Amino acid sequence: MKQSWWACLAPPGFLAAWACVCLVQGCGPGPGYGVRSRPRVLTPMHYKQFFPNFSENNLGASGKAEGKIARNSERFNELVCNYNPDIVFKDEENTNADRFMTKRCKDCLNRLAIAVMNQWPGVRLRVTEAWDEDGHHPPGSLHYEGRAVDITTDDRETKKYGLLAQLAVQAGFDWVHYESKYHIHCSVKADHSVAVEKGGCFPGWASVTVAGGGQKRLSSLAPGDRVMALSGTGQVVFSPVILFLHQDQKRWSTFLSLETEDGHRLVLTSYHLVFLSSHCRPDRSQYQAQFANRAKLGNCVLIHTAGGSVHPSKIISIAVEESVGVYAPLTEAGTMFVDGVLASSYALVEHHHLAHWVFGPVRLFYSLNQLVWRETTDNQPRTESETTAIKTPDRCSSIAMDKNKNRAGVYVNNSVVHKHNNVSEPARTDKTVTQTVNVHWYARLLYSLGCIFLDSDTFQP
């Protein structure tokens, strides 16, 4: 006898109830799911070290200078004044110049001020230089635009400056340099820069392997497509795409390009998670999900070979690219092989398992929806044509991408810009994917909660 649809929903219903109980328990005293993880030990930066490992004006750092801002210029209105009482401003000119900065710089500085007080109770952050209107810095300095600050602690103990620099990285500054034994230099991207929007995405021309063995570009991918991924048990599976966390075919963004010794090339945004290891061992448990901008030459990633095996491959090149189109598909497994390299579906939170857990309700809803849809479909009699279609499945949705064609976008490496020819999307005979321009509402909700509850060392606001 055929089970009714409510009987099929009973087990998932019990699962949902159990999940709610776990959430309530996590909010109570004692260890639980709602407890904030212990902050990891911060490693002080060394003298003359900078992060990320690009020059300050590189697209992967704070970006190019856009020209001086004078008090009587129209761009002066872009600057804001920082009156945070937890920050000591040197202001030796007595003009409040050190209090003027871009909004992004102000936000990072305020977060850093809180981190300093938490790290050293009774100590405050001190700003010795911010916006410069008097020409005291070299040409092209971001101080002239209010995008750079020089900082110390108010007790001026130089032994703290290495850790202060690391705290500045965690606070969100786009470039931090232990420039002098007497101060730390920090800078940010321009407020209007598209690269300021930190998300976790891949370019539209990146490809994944779909069920059936074909390749499909992310710009052509649709919810329900099954893509190659790695399950929680370490098995290669074809996991369905549940939804897109971010999808915008017109937005220009800055990406990091990680090229491996085997010729694989993964292109993704700085704060997307990729599985990295400093040791090229086949043990997959040694690979931790980290922000892409933490990748270093010599680190290893996991790649899927044509023979069907997964093995390590060493990173031999790290570059910066600009390209149009950003896509962040969420798979049921939480992972996927993009251009043959294993990456996470998640970004901004440097904790893959935590991110996968909080997206549990989305996966649960997807499973319930699939059950209802399957029950409804099974109860409807099939026509002769539908029966024939099931026996001879259409494989047009897995059209292989022509790898000899150039990819769209602009490639930037060592300050040289190379433009690639635009290519049209591969022909599709199965269905047309309607492109949307949005960030999924659930991802927005989690981002807002992350800004409130998560530590700055695991969450990139």
Annotated binding residues for Ca(2+), written as ranges, equal 92-93, 98, 128-129, 132, 134
CA angle 270, 274, 275 (to 5 degrees): 150
CA angle 272, 43, 34 (to 5 degrees): 55
- Residue 410 contacts by C-beta under 8 Å, 6 or more apart in sequence? 321, 322, 323, 417, 418, 419, 420
Binding-site members are: 92-93, 98, 128-129, 132, 134, 143, 150, 185
Quote the CA–CA distance of 428 and 34 in Å, as a whole number.
Answer: 45
Binding-site members for Zn(2+) are: 143, 150, 185
- CA distances 146 to 48, 68, 74, 187, Å, are 23, 9, 14, 9
Q: What is the 3-state secondary structure (H, E, C) of 139-185?
A: CCCHHHHCCEEEEEECCCCHHHHHHHHHHHHHCCCCEEEEEECCEEE
- Residue 442 contacts by C-beta under 8 Å, 6 or more apart in sequence? 359, 361, 362
Contact predicate 430/455, CB 8 Å: no
Q: Is residue 293 helix, strand or coil?
A: helix
Q: Is residue 136 helix, strand or coil?
A: coil
Q: Which two tokens stand for residue 259?
A: 């090229």
Q: Is residue 301 helix, strand or coil?
A: strand
Quote the CA–CA distance of 218 and 207 in Å, as a whole number.
Answer: 6
Q: Is residue 12 helix, strand or coil?
A: helix
Whose tokens are 């029950």? That residue is: 375
Whose tokens are 């798979």? That residue is: 331
Quote the CA–CA distance of 62 and 349 in Å, as a whole number.
Answer: 21
Quote the CA–CA distance of 251 and 269 in Å, as a whole number.
Answer: 13
Report DSSP letters for 373-424, one per residue: HHHHHHHSPPPHHHHHHHHS---GGGPPP-TTSPPSEEEEETTEEEEEPP-P
